[in-house]
Structures are given as C-alpha cells and as structure tokens.
C-alpha cells in the first residue's frame, strides 16, 4: 500500500512539474505576452490567441458574428488594434447588442475591419512612421478608412479615429503567427 501511494505521489508530482514547466516555458518563450490573464503564443494565429483572453470575449463574439474568423486566421500579416471588453462596455447602452444582430453584419464588419491594418506594424514601426510624419502617422485600415497614430509622451502611442476619438495602446507587440495585436482601451469608429 505504501509503495502504491508513493507511486501515485510521484506521478502527481511529475504532472505538477510538467504543468509548472509549461507555464515557465510560456513565460520564457520570446514574444509570449500575457493578455487577459493568458499567454499569447507567437506560433498561434490571431483568433487562436484572442479566444483565450478573458479581456477580449466581446471582441471575439463580434468577430464571430461578423464572419471574420476565417479571415483573421488567414496568412496575413495583419495588425489588429484589439479593444478590451471594457472598451465595448463604454459604448452607449445597447450598441454591442444591436451590432451583433444579423441585419447589422455589414456595419459590424466595417467597424471591426477599421481596427485592422494590413501588414505587420510593430510598435517600433508605428513610432518610426510617427517620427517620419513629424508627429502623426496615417494608417490605412482594411475597411478603407484611416487612423492617425500619435505619441502621447515619449513611449505612449495613441490612435485617433475618424470621429476624433482617442484610444491608447495599453499592450504593445503581441506577436502572432499571422501578424501582431496591440491592445487598446477604446473602440475605434469609422
């Protein structure tokens, strides 16, 4: 009996060590960033990572409602400015519920693709474009609109949408297999 319990304890210890090792590996893997309490792995695509973030459940639901899952799993590269759940909650009451209705799919798609820029725009590239533009970089979105990127202090990038609203990037360079995500604190509007 003692031998059996010792064997079970050893197996349990191995399982714990394996899980701890996987967690440590995620922290040590270059490019791995924690978003919404979960590791975002650079070898996974935008959708595979986003579905694990507790801070982006509304965005994921909207992407599904708009039928953009397959697109954002595509080769890319894409730069996604990903609003948090709090950013969606800050919209006027009923906005999200209205947008995810099937009859509003075109509007929802336009808003979501307004958060996507073709290419791999890391923070360094965005900041270099701002510097080259003498303080402002104009980013063309997949929806056909434009975002203005500007500095707010020496290391903070903010985005201005076509309505004049400002969103701050809170987490930069969440590298994906098909692009990069930057977490933002407001929903951008075309």
Same domain, 17 and 56: no
Q: What's the whole-model pTM score?
A: 0.82
Q: Does residue 16 share a domain with residue 44?
A: no
Tell whether 66 and 142 lie within a shared domain: yes
Q: Is residue 165 part of a domain?
A: yes
Confirm whether 189 is domain-assigned. Answer: no
Q: What is the pLDDT of residues 69-111, one digit of tens each?
A: 999 999 999 999 999 999 999 999 999 999 999 999 999 999 9
Joined tokens for residue 186: 């407001």
Is residue 73 within 8 A of residue 46, CB to CB? The reply is yes
- Decide if 152 contacts 127 (C-beta within 8 A): no
* Structure-token pair, residue 66: 């708009």
Is 64 in the same domain as 108?
yes
Angle 35-96-64 from CA coordinates, rounded to 5°: 60
Which domain CATH number covers 47? Answer: 2.30.180.10
Whether 53 maps to a domain, the answer reads: yes
Which residues face 183 on adjacent strands?
A: 82, 171
CA distance linking residue 50 with residue 159, whole number of Å: 21
Domain that holds residue 22: 1-30
């Amino acid at each position: 009996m003692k031998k059996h319990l010792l064997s079970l304890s050893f197996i349990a210890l191995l399982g714990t060590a394996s899980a701890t090792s996987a967690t440590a590996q995620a922290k040590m893997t270059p490019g791995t960033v924690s978003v919404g309490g979960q590791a975002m792995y650079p070898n996974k695509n935008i959708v595979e990572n986003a579905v694990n973030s507790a801070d982006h459940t509304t965005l994921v639901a909207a992407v599904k409602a708009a039928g953009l899952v397959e697109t954002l799993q595509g080769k890319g590269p894409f730069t996604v400015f990903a609003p948090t759940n709090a950013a969606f909650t800050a919209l006027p009451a009923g906005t999200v519920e209205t947008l995810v209705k099937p009859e509003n799919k075109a509007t929802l798609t336009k808003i979501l693709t307004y958060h996507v820029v073709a290419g791999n725009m890391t923070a360094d590239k965005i900041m270099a474009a701002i510097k080259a533009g003498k303080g402002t970089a104009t980013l063309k979105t997949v929806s056909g609109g434009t975002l203005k990127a500007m500095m707010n202090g020496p290391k903070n990038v903010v985005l201005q949408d076509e309505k004049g609203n400002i969103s701050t990037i809170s987490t930069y360079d969440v590298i994906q297999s098909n692009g990069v995500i930057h977490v933002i604190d407001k929903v951008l509007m075309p």
